[in-house]
Amino acid sequence: MGVLALGSGSELLPTPDFSRVKRYIAGIRPYRRGRFRLELESIGNKLLLHNYGHGGAGVTLSWGCAEEAVGMLRAEVPPPAEVAVLGAGVMGMSTAMVLMEQGYRVKIYTEKFTPDTTSDVAGAQWSPALVNRGPQRRFERIMRKSHRRFARLAEQDYGVTLKANYATRGHGTHLDQIPDGLLAPMERVARLPFAGPAKAGRLYHTFHIEPPIYLPSLLADLYFRGVETEERRFEDARELVALPERAVVNCLGYGARRVFGDEQLQPIRGQLVLLEPQKLPYLLSHRGYIFPRKDGVVLGGSVERGVFVAETDERTCQGIIRKNERFFGL
């Protein structure tokens, strides 16, 4: 494998203006010890299918897990059965879409819709970060299914684009877990093309998904197909027995800890800084990350294990800004 000699003189890519802070954001990643949960069980007279616990990879795995889940359900409850989907984050909406594509009648029960879900907080590059993958063969199958869907959406006005991601040594390594043949091969870079101290690294190419565009587009498509919705908060799994639908798909993410008592779910808070929009033609992964999108430039990302409250704090967010400034020698 060759080494690219990038980053000399006029080839430097633009440096963000870190003074243009728009707001701070925080969310709780639904990390599940062992592996994410994708399995069937019965509860009362209902068939219950779990699809949650994807950590920081919910967007990345969403379509593949949705297709796997619907395949499992179809073997037990064929369409056009009525199915309840719990949760309207990226996993719930993706699962609802695949169900409707296969002829099911779907109703989404959720406490929150976009732009107020945990998925709306995601930095969202296509990379299996902060997730226990489970069996390798199943993981690769899920990733390939997800890739096919995102490749199609990249050709539409869905907020999905293929971008270069420059990564320093020891960072961006989740991109190495993407199965071979789906994206352009990684290339080693002798000097990353940025101002500041010279750094070697790697060049990847992956999808960048912009939640403020992607999630409303997905919800609009669901409404176009005739999905029903109801705002509702569940406190206990026994409440599901009274639902009129024959089958239930649990896509509650971290909410599954409350409803189903799953203590394998462990919170990982992530805090982000959103800068004003700037034209930056790259993604960057180092001790933090930089993901530019239409509504602003996202700076991340803290990994705060065991923190249950999705609130920002000034010290952490200022630290995120400083980490990114230091990368550029500021």
pLDDT value of position 1: 46
pLDDT value of position 6: 57
pLDDT value of position 10: 52
pLDDT value of position 133: 85
pLDDT value of position 228: 98
pLDDT value of position 258: 96
pLDDT in tens, 82-102: 999 999 999 999 999 999 999
* Domains present along the chain, CATH in parentheses: 3-327 (3.40.50.720)
Q: How many CB atoms lie within 10 A of CB 163?
A: 17
Distance CA 280, CA 194 (A): 12
- Structure-block tokens of residue 60: 């990345």
pLDDT in tens, 227-286: 999 999 999 999 999 999 999 999 999 999 999 999 999 999 999 999 999 999 999 999
Place of tokens 């990038």: 6
Q: Round the CA-based radius of gyration of the chain to a whole number and report it.
A: 20
- Structure-block tokens of residue 123: 């930095």
Q: Say how many CA atoms lie within 13 Å of 80 toward its Cβ.
A: 2
- Structure-block tokens of residue 87: 């949760």
For every residue of the chain, which 3-state class applies, written as one string?
Answer: CCEECCCCHHHCCCCCCCCCEEEEEEEEEEEECCCCEEEEEEECCEEEEEEECEHHHHHHHHHHHHHHHHHHHHCCCCCCCEEEEECCCHHHHHHHHHHHHCCCEEEEEECCCCCCCHHHHCCCECCCCCCCCCCHHHHHHHHHHHHHHHHHHCCCCCCEEEEEEEEECCCCHHHHHCCCCCCCCCEEECCCCCCCCCCCEEEEEEEEECHHHHHHHHHHHHHHHCCEEEECCCCCHHHHHHCCCCEEEECCHHHHHHHHCCCCEEEEEEEEEEECCCCCCCEEECCCEEEEECCEEEEECCCEECCCCCCCCHHHHHHHHHHHHHHCCC
What are the pLDDT tens digits along the chain (330 aa)? 445 555 544 589 999 999 999 999 999 999 999 899 999 999 999 999 999 999 999 999 999 999 999 999 999 999 999 999 999 999 999 999 999 999 999 999 999 999 999 999 998 999 999 998 889 999 999 999 999 999 999 999 999 999 999 999 999 999 999 999 999 999 999 999 999 999 999 999 999 999 999 999 999 999 999 999 999 999 999 999 999 999 999 999 999 999 999 999 999 999 999 999 999 999 999 999 999 999 999 999 799 999 999 999 999 999 999 999 999 999
